[in-house]
Amino acid sequence: MNKQVTQDDIIYFVVTDRFFGRNKRSADPSDTNIHGGTLDGILDKLDYLIELGVTTIWVTPVYENIQSHGTSEPYHYYWPLNFEWIDRRLLDGTRLPNSVDMSTFGRFVDLCEARGMKVVLDMIVNHAGYWAQEQFDPTWFNIGGSGDIKGELAGLPDFNHDNPEVLDYFINNIEDWITKSKVTNIRMDTVKHVEPKFWHYFKSQIRGEYPDVCLIGEVLFEGKQDIGKLLEYQNYHDFDSIFDFPLCTALRSTLIFDESLSYWLARPRLNDGEPLGVLDDDNPLKGGYRNANRLVTLLDNHDLERRIMSHARTKHTGDDAGLDWAIRVTKLCLGALFTMRGIPQIYYGTEVGLEGWKAGDDRDLRRDFPWHVIGDNNHPKQQFRKEHEIYEWTRDLIHLRKGNAAFKYGTTITLWSDDLIYAFLRIATDDVALVIINNGYTRMPNPIHLNLNMSVIPQRVVDIITGGLKHWKTGQALAVQNGKVLVTVDGKTIDIFCREGP
């Protein structure tokens, strides 16, 4: 088993405390206390994750945290007190040793990998928990700083990585987690707030000695105008991957809030002066990402403004027709996520339409997983229509992606882009897929004609498209006449044609 996250993977992100635990307490999203989700609880639910089809689980930090801050407990575990121990509150003693030693997390990794599940550990080097600076040398912190690097994040004590003692401590601490906890994939928190010198040391020491450890950086730049700043972490600091927040913004802005597909995703290529879309910045020869196929793509997470279903319900209100449209556009977003380049990440509960909002703080974005809707077969029960429909759609998309090299590794070629329609090919040797998005609210009045341009598409690929692509759900053969694909797509719908279905 390759333990490093690759383009074969589907990442599932859980806020551990809000997922599952044998002794789990309140499910009230307004409650900022610890609810009792544990690492043992994640192991209890591996059957559910495997049935969904995900291959990798990303867990929030496990460091020993402060007890509380004001009226809030650190249910998210991003307020470290001690970077060398596991927080006892994350263990319930049912599946893992009841020891806070790093080796306990290594046991968690072993048990996940025994079921074919890779693990990503969320790590922090930027800050300590509130009032936790008393545990460290007072010279280790930035005092009264400002800006992205030297400033405190949400008032948390901010480590100064220009201090060689701080650098040395965290490089050695990360090495301990790798060797004692069997960590092979790291999601690094608040990367843009860490002094750049740290990444030089990380690249030299950690990546040098442990080349198989995958580093995924959280660099929270969300606009397409920010791509130049975002890609520096992959191109210059040598991160394996970063989160593609600009694509997240683009999918939400277009598929839910009806903005132009050609503006956000990919230009029509009618003239050289058109504004670039997010996917136009994929070319490293033109100043783009070193490898856009290694980016982690997403629709929502624990820090953004709303979950994707809540965005959909903001746009489409009401009980019946509004809910139907919200489900439809959420499925459209998921369809785009699993057919576009990158490594898809699902936020726990997105697959059942779980909602959540940021309203002063993040607690509502981190609701408890609704296990009451899940049946004995690890699928949502039929009476929960929204949850069942979105889950089945997501599961089918995951199985489609896992079974088609074009979606995992394929080169992307844009065939058509305008305000309402985006059509693209994914090509991986003999595996070819065609995807068409109709972002309008009505069915196309006439078929769109997609030219299979021989100047950018090899004849071999044209022959594959002509001779055997079928709709992934209906099995209907793709219509090709005189070197053009003819397709009619329903409103707010993604149609996918490939050689085999899920």
What's the 3-state SS for 119-167?
A: EEEEECCCECCCCHHHHCCHHHECCCCCHHHHCCECCECEECCCCHHHH
Query: What does the pLDDT read at residue 453?
Result: 79
Q: Residue 440 falls within a domain, yes or no?
A: yes
Q: Residue 309 belongs to a domain with what CATH number?
A: 3.20.20.80
Round to whole Å and give the CA distance between 234 and 295: 9
Phi-psi region of 453 (alpha: psi -120 to 50; beta: other; left: phi over 0): beta
Our count of domains for the chain comes to: 2
Whether 64 and 206 map to the same domain: the answer is yes
Phi–psi pair at 387, nearest 5 degrees: -60, -40
DSSP state of 69: B
Percent share of the chain, pLDDT over 70 = 98
Contact 470, 410 (CB under 8 A): no
The stretch 48-70 carries a mean pLDDT of: 98
Whether 324 and 417 map to the same domain: the answer is no
Residue reference for tokens 């504004």: 275
Q: Residue 435 falls within a domain, yes or no?
A: yes
CA–chain centroid gap for 304, Å, is 12
Which of the listed residues 408, 443, 463 is the one where a domain comes to its end?
408
Digit-coded pLDDT (tens) for 366-385: 999 999 999 999 999 999 99
Looking at per-residue pLDDT, the higher value among 145 and 408 belongs to: 408
- The domain of 451 spans 411-498
Q: Residue 52 falls within a domain, yes or no?
A: yes
Q: Residue 483 belongs to a domain with what CATH number?
A: 2.60.40.1180
Which of the listed residues 390, 408, 426 is the one where a domain comes to its end?
408
Contact 69, 129 (CB under 8 A): yes
Closest CA to 392 of 442, 330, 339, 438: 330
Whether 221 and 177 map to the same domain: the answer is yes
Q: Is 419 exposed, middle or buried, given 0-12, 13-18 or 19+ CB atoms closer than 10 A? A: middle
Q: Residue 102 falls within a domain, yes or no?
A: yes
Whether 303 and 423 map to the same domain: the answer is no
Q: Residue 275 falls within a domain, yes or no?
A: no
Which of the listed residues 365, 381, 408 is the one where a domain comes to its end?
408
The pLDDT-based confidence of 445 (bands split at 50, 70, 90) is: very high
Whether 106 and 180 map to the same domain: the answer is yes
Whether 322 and 386 map to the same domain: the answer is yes
Mean pLDDT of the chain: 95
The stretch 280-301 carries a mean pLDDT of: 92
Whether 399 and 426 map to the same domain: the answer is no
Closest CA to 389 of 336, 441, 334: 334
Residue 466 has pLDDT above 60, yes or no: yes
Q: Helices then strands (H, E): number in the chain?
A: 17, 18
Q: Residue 46 falls within a domain, yes or no?
A: yes
Query: What does the pLDDT read at residue 285?
Result: 80
Q: Dihedral angle at the C-alpha atoms of 140, 144, 148, 149, nearest 10 degrees?
A: -30
Whether 417 and 400 map to the same domain: the answer is no
Digit-coded pLDDT (tens) for 83-103: 999 999 999 999 999 999 999
Whether 305 and 453 map to the same domain: the answer is no
Q: Which residues contact 137 (CB under 8 A, 6 or more apart)?
A: 165
Round to whole Å and give the CA distance between 157 and 166: 13
Whether 367 and 445 map to the same domain: the answer is no
Query: What does the pLDDT read at residue 502?
Result: 45
